[in-house]
Structure 1
Amino acid sequence: MAAMPDARCAACLTRLPSRARFCPSCGERVQAEESLDIRKTVTVVFCDLVGSTALSRILDPEPLRELMLRYFALMRGCLERHGGVVEKYIGDAVMAVFGVPVVHEDDALRAVRAAAQMRDSLAGFNADVAHGLGVTLNVRIGVNTGSVVAAADPAAAEALISGDAVNLAARLEQHAAPGEVLLGPLTCKALEGVVNYELAPPITMKGFAQPVGPGRLVSVGDADAAVPRRFDLALVNRQDEMALLRRTFEAAVRERGCRTVTLQGDAGIGKSRLAAEFARWARSQGAVVAEGRCPGYGVGGSLTALAQAMRKFLAEARSAAPPESNPPETSPPETDAAEALTILREGLLADDAPGIAPGETVWAIGRVLREIGADRPIVLVLDDMHWAEPSLPAALSAVAAQLSGVALTLLCLTRPDFLSEDGAALGDLPDARLEHVRPLTEDDCYRLVAELDEVVAHDAEMAVRAVSRAEGNPFYLEQIVDVMGDESGQSVPLGVNGLIAYRLDQLATGERRILGLAAVVGRDFTPADLLAAAEDDLAGRLAGVLDGLVRRRLIGRTTAGSSPAYRFDSALIHEVAYDSMPKNWRAAGHERLADRLAGDPGAAEVAGTHWERAWSLRKELGTPEQSRRSLADRAVHALLAGGVRALAGGDPRHAADLLSRALPLCDPDDPRRCELLLRTGEARLMAGEGEAGHRLLTQARDRARAGRNAIIEAHAELQLAYLRPTRQFSALLEKAHETLPVFEQAGDVLGLSRAWLRIGVVEQSRGRHARAVRALRRALGYATRLDAGLEQATVLGALAVSLWVGPLPAHRAIAQCRSLLTEYGPGHRSVRAGLLCPLALLEGMSGAHEEADALLDEAGGIIGELGNARAWAVLPMFVAAAKVLAGDLGAAEAMARQAHAASLKLGDPQLTETTSRDLARVTLLHGRQEEAAELAMDGLPDDMPAAAADRYGLRARIRARQGHAEQALRLSGQAQAFARRTDSPLSRATTCLDHAVILRDLGDVGGSREMARRAAGWFGRKGHVVGLAWTRDLLEGAS
């Protein structure tokens, strides 16, 4: 077997010449590689001759055979001219494929152009046939784009493919009218805005469940790109590149010489857009500008790009010339410019080729350009130089050598594979410079999204997803935004898929196989991962292949400790590489990887993901359920273990993802389903999905009760008791005490920690913080035995709240919080965040406002990364309280509103009631008592004395402001009574301060001073420096 492109010798890793049978370095025979099927998106063309049966009755077999051979040759020529591969003839029908063996980004456009030419070429053919045989031919054609399976060998001569895309193309052809070309839905989508078609009525086709809505081809036009270019958009952050191009142009003008810049960058990075902007600017400076594009396949001649540019140069020069002047095309016949024009008209401008005398063509181009550039600068832009024939760079060098004294700026655009680092592929062009066009920054991408689609720009989640996937490539970003919300099932936009698939199709089979294994592992992988995923021994050739893939910029090197590691250059390359491999092959690779990871507890979620993928792929392939059962069982076990681990580690979003994926794999009768429902419900609750979490917990409880699983039932009941919207805290306390013996008997340390946590929270909510601290320390002991980060964080956060609000003086509470941070904080970010917020308010009440802000900033950074929705709702509550302590009421109101909105979204009744009161207090301080009254209207039952004390005191101040003295005094008295049932100095101080303000507003100065002194006493006990300042201000105002 001959060597594949860029293949290497298995023995010495020397690069092999194309189709080599022996290594030129060591002499080893090139080993034949096992064939590998590839999944790819192609475009299929079916063309059938109309009325062929009638022809056989009219014509003798001999002229009929000759006619059919000529017809097939004509059709084949049209297809192959545009890059199609004829797979087979079926009777009078021709089937061809575009995208096999190598995918191109414009396969759909090539196929439609070929189809149009097949139909239109019959006009001339029929004129000849009608004259000789008295008959004419007509065809009907179907064109369809879709996914197929094909051989991976780029050197293969045949295009054996299979897939539903082929069947649909055949059906479209059968339903087309004579002379009609019908396009499949995906072909229409791929070429929207590029070719002209009209939608045909949906057609019910045999073998398809739903009617298919095809497009009827009207015309192809002369579009040179398969996707419309968005040159209407503002150029985003290309100031440096534009400055370089302008300086190059100005140097060419100043020195009357040739200057060359090559813009090199990946497909879609914005080279053409940048060139178009430069061309507009150059025209504004008086330059004559022309563009040419190298075709990607065999239409036109070797100098097509130059031919296109010369036509535009001549047209622009003619249109810009004054009436009395003689532009090149109308120069006097005795000049050599006229001779040059004649040479170009008869050669290059006629067929895009240099003809039999290339030297004359080059001279003619140079002579005409000298004439055009005699008094004006010239700018020549050549796009897609990676498709250029070898003769083009040589011709450019020869033309440039003739243009002494002409201000010529030559701008070449190419993809990276075309040039060496010094740009040598462009020959000896004068003053050449190579400029790499860099990806856009993240901020630039968001600016581009805002221009592309207003809906996506205003949907933060969609915008983030689009920018993340595009990774700085503006064309990718355009395509991704364009298909958002699309239901075509294309995970990667067609245009992007074509660009990447073309690069993958350049790989040898062995390289493709290893890249596919890497895609199965994930975006990040190590050589050890590939060896584990492979079905045979890759060790001898792995390093060389990986080096080649790095050179091709498909993957890059990273580090994984001391071992070598790699990463796909982009998520999209990873997706296309993964999707291109056969599903059965991928499933086997996933299974091998999962089996290797099965013994590592820390890799449970990774193993579970691979088993899940294998199960899903086997399902798509139609493997019977019984054969997939073992995969599902192993996936459930691993995903459940990984989810519980993520939940304990304080990452509820990740836990919810893992556990939710395990649910559909878990058999309804599987005993693990109870725990899976419970853990998924817990994770969804913590991730902010209150309704879903409540539903799953209810299902877990009911299922556990029916199956007499007391442990799961107790866990679910404990969670649900806390979630009940109208709960009495006495009921929650009762439920916690009920579950304690269940957990104790089972030795369920997690359950014991949670039960004591609930008891502590109830005592805390009742304002009995000394009792709360004792219960919470018991909960902490159990959580510490588990080494469960999330449980520790929850318990320690609650403990710190009681240290903040409870009877312990501030300086001692601060010392205890910092001691807890030292003991439990290292290595546990969620623990640290839970302790930092109450500590910040202790520092704030002590007057250390900058320290409080720093602590809250650190907590915010941690919470933002962890994705704990409840913590994210609670954080602005603490920030608002800190801003009140610092006297910044504007910032306090903004944060209180944010907290209230987050609590409403979360659906936690206690949290919502608390944030309502906090916001009401801030709005009251701003003098908006009516808004405050509305916020303070609702409240939870009065078995929470601390909350009731704050609520009644707040309502009392509102009623006093509204002029209802009697109600205000009664409510304030109730608030103080509730506060006396707590051991919180802050609760007692606040109700005394509220009463002092009410009495002041009612004109009772002496009473106000007395209550202010009482408030000062309680603030003093706590060490609340800011509170003492508040009472001092009130006393001074009262006097």
Structure 2
Amino acid sequence: MTTGAARPARRNVVVVFIDLVGSTELAERLDPELLRDVLDRYYQACTSGISEHGGVVEKYIGDAIMAVFGIPANREDDALRAVRAAHAALQRVRELSDGLAPTHGIQLDVHCGVSAGQAVVIATPGADLRVIGDTVNTAARLQSAADVGEILVGDEVARLVRAQARLEPVPPLTLKGKSNPVRAWRVTSLEPDAGDGDAQIPLIGRAAETARLRAAYREAVRDHRCRVVTVLGVPGIGKSRLVRDFVHELPAGVVVLAGRCRSYGAGITYRPIAEMVESLGDDWPDTLEEASGAALRGLVTGDAARAPRTGEDAGVEEIARAVCALFEALARREPLVVVWEDLHWAEPTLLDLIDDLTTWLVDVPVLVVRVARPELLEARPSWGIDVGRAVAFELGALDAARMERLVAELAALRSPDDEVVAHALAASPALCRRVAESSDGNPLFAELLLETLAEEGEDAPLPRTIQALLGARLDLLDDGERDVLERAATIGHAFTLDQLGGLCAVRPEARLDVDETVGLLIRRRLVRRGEAAGSFHFTQTLTRDTVYAMTRKDLRATWHLALADRISEQITEQISGPAEVSVWSSSGEESSHGDLTQHLETACLLKREVRPDDPLLPALTERAARALVGEGTRALHRKDLPAAIALLERGRDLLPAGHPDHRPLAVRICDAGLARGESDRPYAALDVAERMLPGDPRTRLTCAVQRETLAVRFGTRPASAGPFRDLLSADPGDDLGWCRLHHLEALLRIGEGRFGAAEAALRDALARARSLGDRYEENRLLSGLCELAQWSPTPLAEGLSLCAGLSARFGADRAMLLPVLVTEARLLALAGDVAEAWAVLHAADRHARDLHLNLAAAAVLQVRGLVESLVDRHAAAEELFRRAAADLHRLGQSEPARTLELYAARELLRQGRHAEAAGELARLRATAARPQARGELILLALSARIASLDGDHGAAGALAARAEELLARTDDPCLCGDVLADLARVHHAAGRTGPAAEAAARALRGYAAKGAELPARRVRRWIEEERLL
């Protein structure tokens, strides 16, 4: 890692505050010279532990000491180092106090606070270190809250050290300057070693690697030779777990020695050998020379702890010979397996010793297993290849299927306290898949993500434990590699050399050779090549996320904006305001719009956080908001409602109060929420618009119209458009207000069964939308007009012509095409072209399923039921109507669902099951409110038919008369024809031949005017059977 002239850097750090208790009283009692001497010794007691554990003293504040861990490089155990340093300070100050008490008559004690998080670090050689951020303040407040002789740690630190420390939770602390209570933990003791952190993680998908270890062991035993296997892998991938399982399966009698290298501390060079020697206990080979035994025992007792780290002096050679002699003596008794763990932390002296073992150990069955991270190959490149008696392999990421299985097994192993999480994962394959995908094929990451899920829920940030592991690895990079990687992370998980080159030209800190640096990053296994030439992607998504999180926000903002500018140049369509956003894009353009929006929004939000006074921020905010609204409108257009709502609301939230786009945005968010069946969000969107545009009469009136529209849609109360027309008359130029008013009028007319008037209102609305220049409103209204063609007096031929025009207009936009296809299928079926209707319905059904549009799928079921009914397959029609009704009920569309239930009852009647039909109607009357005009007409006609079949011709006649009255209020030709056909049967059953013939003739005239040949054919057949005409 390069550590030249430093620049401000965003880093994960651990901050420790240590403060002397009772310093004011001490200063009052002691002479200044004596006080200085005591404080110097106190500082030395504290700072010695800090430096031994790898920390840096940032500053002294009176008698308080602030230390930082994670500078100049992150280490995955920085939190543990910090807690150990605080613990060492407590112990050493107490020892100092015990020594001073008899002579000075004083007692010293300290209290400590430890916090972890992100901070900006400025460290220039020869200058003061500065660490800035909330993490510093939190550590200071925790120290103030700690009792005498106590260490309090924050929640993040607790997560990082809980495997190595005993912690007790304290009640949430109200700390000075903190807006919310802070969770804290008291450190009661430290554990000497973490042990096997992955012991609970199942070993999955490693059969091939296990087989290679077994084969090497068999060869060593068979040939009486030393064999070496090097197992490489990134942190958490399961290296130690693999080797431990292999060792557990070895035959009885095999001697296994294992030692782990440490990242820091005294005597770390030979620490793994000391562990191996200590594990033998008294089981020493009789043939081992006394000198060798003494040298090895000295490692355990500490006599050799200060053995040289490098060089060829006698101490190094003597220990090497002793280790070889021990291994050889043990292997002559039984096969020997020697496991060296975490060799990436090994000192060169130990690596040299291990390198020489294969030469020294001859004619004995020894298997040496070297376990390390890939960075070991920088010091020992030959260890990564198969040569002679040595083999090497690297554990790769698990595939998706194995990761899902692993996550499922991990969830099942959770403790009773985490039963809720285990149940949630078991009940939600999607959640299980998400954890598996987020883990990047890394078993340890899956375990850590599950822990975070258990503690913080599904929206938890990336666990600090994972950040610590990845951050330590990233800090091995030099400045050039880090600069390129940070830019790549800003681009995203995937990137190209062209994109990187463009970003490296923006505020370059140094001249960067992008091609060469990317090659180095590939060798470090941080990125890999993509399929297309010049494309690359991060090997792990979590690595990308960690790099991005550790990149300074001002740099991120600059690079995101540069990327947005570059994409803007490539997009031919001009991003403009909500009323002018085009919704027509190819798949490539969709991707470009999405990338542009993401980069603009992120640049804006980052600028707000770190440069709120930037004079360019207002223009950037406007640009980002427009991009979000444009992308949200496209999502709304293709019926991706969750995405549409999220994008539109984010765009709205960027706009300042008073911005005129708050009004059209409220309307679109209201539309999206309504389409999702949400009752609260549409009203909330209107409330926001009125708050953002207080006193604006157009906004107030548009929101009032929208609330009336919601009342119609939800059926919560009677609605009216009259008062708004009078108010809008004073503002003829308010195209959006008039457009929405005409739409409300159309909905009201539809509810009354006046479909011709509804068409006229929609055409008025369409004219206003075109005047407004709003393609979203225009397409929405065109789709509505098309759907109305099914029920209005407009002849089928005109309706089919409209469908053809809209099919050409919407093209490959399947979401907009769907209602057109449904309408076209219904009109074709009515016209008698059943085969073509089925073909269109199949296409519509496929689109609805592909796009997961449930309302559209229910509409397809409804038209399928109509077609089945028209061809006299009434049982099939009944089932389809019931399925469609059930789907609509689930989607909160109760009014149309009840109408479809009436259709199903009519199909029962047509099957001759009139008793069941009667029961169904009774149920609907008992459970539902009075239906709208369409439903009421069908209900009256069916009730009259059933009364007639029951022989109650008087009741049937009364119901028929009421239906006749209501028929005058609707202009739906097919509805009128269906009702009149039923009434003709009622009159005929009562012997009223004239009224029966008249009703049948009127039905035929209505069908003919519409062009509905198939239902007319059914009526003509009945007339012929009954010889009415």
TM surpasses 0.5: yes
Q: TM-score range by the shorter chain?
A: 0.7 to 0.9
The partner residue of 1:271 within 239, 258, 267 is: 239
1:724-756 deviation digits (Å, cap 9, x = unpaired): 25769997898999999999x6595x8898788
Aligned to 1:799: 786
Post-superposition shift, 1:854?
A: 5.1
| Match of residue 28 from structure 1 | none
Structural mapping, 1:872-891, within 5 Å: none
- Within the candidate set 371, 374, 386, 1:416 is matched to 374
Of 334, 339, 342, which residue of structure 2 is paired with 1:384? 342
Pairs within 5 Å for 1:102-113: 102-113=73-84
Q: Deviations over 1:211-259 (max 9, x none)?
A: 655432211102337xx83533544555555555555556656666555
- Cross-structure match for 1:900: 888
Please identify, of 734-743 and 701-710, the stretch whose mean Cα deviation from structure 2 is larger: 734-743
2:389 corresponds to which of 430, 451, 461:
430
**CA apart distance, 1:966:** 8.9
- The whole-number CA distance in structure 2 between the counterparts of 1:129 and 1:903 is 78
Paired residues of 2:205 and 2:402 also in contact (CA < 8 A): no
Check if 1:828 corresponds to 2:816: no
Q: C-alpha root-mean-square deviation of aligned residues, in Å?
A: 6.0
CA distance in 1, matches of 2:562, 2:74: 30
Alignment of 1:365-380 (within 5 A): 365-369=323-327, 378-380=336-338
Query: 718-727 vs 683-692, which deviates more?
Result: 718-727
Range moving further from structure 2, 347-356 or 111-120:
347-356
- 8 Å Cα contact 1:101-1:156 kept in structure 2: no
Determine the C-alpha separation between the residues in 1 that align with 2:49 and 2:917: 79
CA deviations on 1:128-151 (whole Å, 9 max, x unpaired) are 777998977544333222332113
1:196 to partner: Cα distance: 0.6
Q: How far is the alpha carbon of 1:448 from its aligned partner? A: 1.0
- The counterpart of 2:271, out of the listed 304, 308, 311, is 304
Alpha-carbon distance in 2 for matches of 1:994, 1:250? 92
Assess if the C-alpha contact under 8 Å between 2:941 and 2:982 holds in 1. no
| 1:329 maps to 2:283 | yes
Contact 2:259 2:271 in 1 (8 A): yes
**2:118 equivalent in structure 1:** 147
Identity of aligned residues (%): 27
Q: In terms of mean alpha carbon deviation, does 932-941 or 490-499 score higher?
A: 932-941
Structure 1's 896 and 960: CA in aligned 2 closer, same or farther, altered over 3 A?
farther
Per the alignment, residue 135 of structure 2 pairs with: 165
Residues 416-460 of structure 1 deviation map (CA, whole Å, 9 limit, x = unaligned): 333379962368672413133214416733761644523642467
CA distance in 2, matches of 1:716, 1:40: 51
SS in 1 for 2:394: strand
1:684 to 649, 668, 673: 673
Higher mean displacement: 489-498 or 215-224: 489-498
Q: Deviation string for 1:360-410 (max 9, x for gaps)?
A: 544544554455556766554444333233344443343345555665555
Aligned to 1:29: none
- The match for 2:587 is none
Letter of the structure 2 residue corresponding to residue 297 of structure 1? Y
Q: C-alpha displacement at 1:647, in angstroms? A: 3.8
Instruction: Using the TM superposition, give the Cα deviation of residue 79 of structure 1 relative to its aligned residue in structure 2, in angstroms.
Output: 2.0
AA matched with 1:678: V
2:367 and 2:726 mapped to 1: Cα distance? 85
1:665 paired with 2:634, answer no
Deviations 1:6-31 (A, max 9, x none): xxxxxxxxxxxxx8xxxxxxxxxxxx
**1:223 and 2:193 equivalent?**
yes
1:915-946 alpha-carbon deviations (Å, 9 max, x no partner): 6657889999997997886566555765532x
Alignment of 1:596-675 (within 5 A): 601-602=573-574, 612-613=601-602, 616-617=605-606, 619-621=608-610, 623=612, 632-644=621-633, 646-648=635-637, 650-675=639-664
- Counting only pairs closer than 5 Å after superposition, residues 86-125 of structure 1 correspond to structure 2 as 86-121=57-92
Going from structure 1 to structure 2, the CA distance change for 1:339 and 1:542 (only over 3 Å counts) comes to closer
Q: Does the 8 Å CA contact 2:269/2:349 hold for their aligned counterparts?
A: yes
Query: 1:655: how far off?
Result: 3.4
Secondary structure (helix, strand or coil) at the match of 1:166 reads helix
The answer to whether the 8 A contact 2:201-2:443 is kept is no
Q: Distance in 1 between matches of 2:315 and 2:662?
A: 80
* Mapped contact 1:767–1:984 kept (Cα < 8 A): no
Unaligned regions of 5+ residues in structure 1, if any? Answer: 6-18, 20-31, 316-327, 1003-1010
Match of 2:422 among 438, 441, 454: 454
Give the alignment partner of residue 40 of structure 1, picking from 11, 22, 25. Answer: 11
Match of 1:293 in 2: 260
1:516 Cα deviation after fit: 4.0
Pick from 668, 678, 682 the counterpart of residue 693 of structure 1: 682
Match of 1:25 in 2: none
- Report if aligned partners of 1:263, 1:434 keep a CA contact under 8 Å in 2: yes
8 Å Cα contact 1:700-1:716 kept in structure 2: no
What is the alpha-carbon distance in structure 2 between the residues aligned to residue 995 and residue 381 of structure 1?
94
Q: What are the superposed Cα offsets for residues 614-662 of structure 1, whole Å, 9 maximum, x if unpaired?
A: 5544554584699965554554455445544554565444332232123
Q: Hey, what's the Cα distance between the residues in 2 that align with 1:960 and 1:430?
A: 98
Secondary structure of 2:456's counterpart equals coil
CA distance in 2, matches of 1:508, 1:44: 24
The letter for the 1-side match of 2:55 is G
Structure-1 separation of matches of 2:548 and 2:719: 53
Distance 2:929 2:328 in 1: 89
Aligned to 2:51: 80
TM-score by length of 1: 0.74
Q: Does 1:495 align with 2:484?
A: no
Amino acid at match of 2:818: A
Q: Is the 8 A contact 2:120 2:132 kept in 1?
A: yes
- TM-score for both structures, normalised by structure 2: 0.74
Whether the aligned pair in 2 keeps the contact of 1:141 and 1:173 (CA below 8 Å) is yes
Q: Is 1:198 matched with 2:168?
A: yes
SS in 1 for 2:283: helix
Partner Cα separation in structure 1 for residue 874 and residue 378 of structure 2:
62
Alignment partner of 1:541: what SS?
coil
Matches within 5 A, 1:557-956: 567-589=537-559, 601-602=573-574, 612-613=601-602, 616-617=605-606, 619-621=608-610, 623=612, 632-644=621-633, 646-648=635-637, 650-697=639-686, 707-709=696-698, 713=701, 717=705, 720-721=708-709, 723-725=711-713, 746=733, 788=775, 792=779, 795-796=782-783, 799=786, 802=789, 819=804, 823-837=808-822, 846=834, 855=843, 858-864=846-852, 871=856, 896=884, 899-904=887-892, 908=893, 910-914=895-899, 934=923, 937=926, 944-945=933-934, 947-951=935-939
Bigger CA drift: 155-164 or 192-201?
Answer: 155-164
Deviation by residue 1:867-899 (Cα, 9 ceiling, x = unmatched): x67547756767888999797799969954762
Conserved? CA contact 1:893–1:923, under 8 Å? no
Amino acid at match of 1:454: A
Tell me the distance in 2 between the aligned counterparts of 1:540 and 1:633.
34
Q: Which residue of 2 aligns with 1:318?
A: none
Give 2:995's aligned residue. none
The CA distance in 2 between the partners of 1:1016 and 1:338, in whole Å, is: 117
Q: Deviations for 1:835-862, whole angstroms, at most 9, x for unmatched residues? A: 4555677899947999678535531344
| Separation in structure 1 between the aligned mates of residue 775 and residue 364 of structure 2, nearest angstrom | 76
The one-letter code of the counterpart of 1:191 is V
Unaligned runs of 5+ residues in structure 2 are 309-313, 415-420, 577-592, 991-998
How far, CA to CA, are the matches of 1:689 and 1:378 in structure 2?
69
Task: Give the 3 Å change call, closer, same or farther, for CA 447–872 of structure 1 in structure 2.
Answer: farther
Q: In structure 2, what is the Cα distance between the partners aligned to 1:959 and 1:292?
A: 92
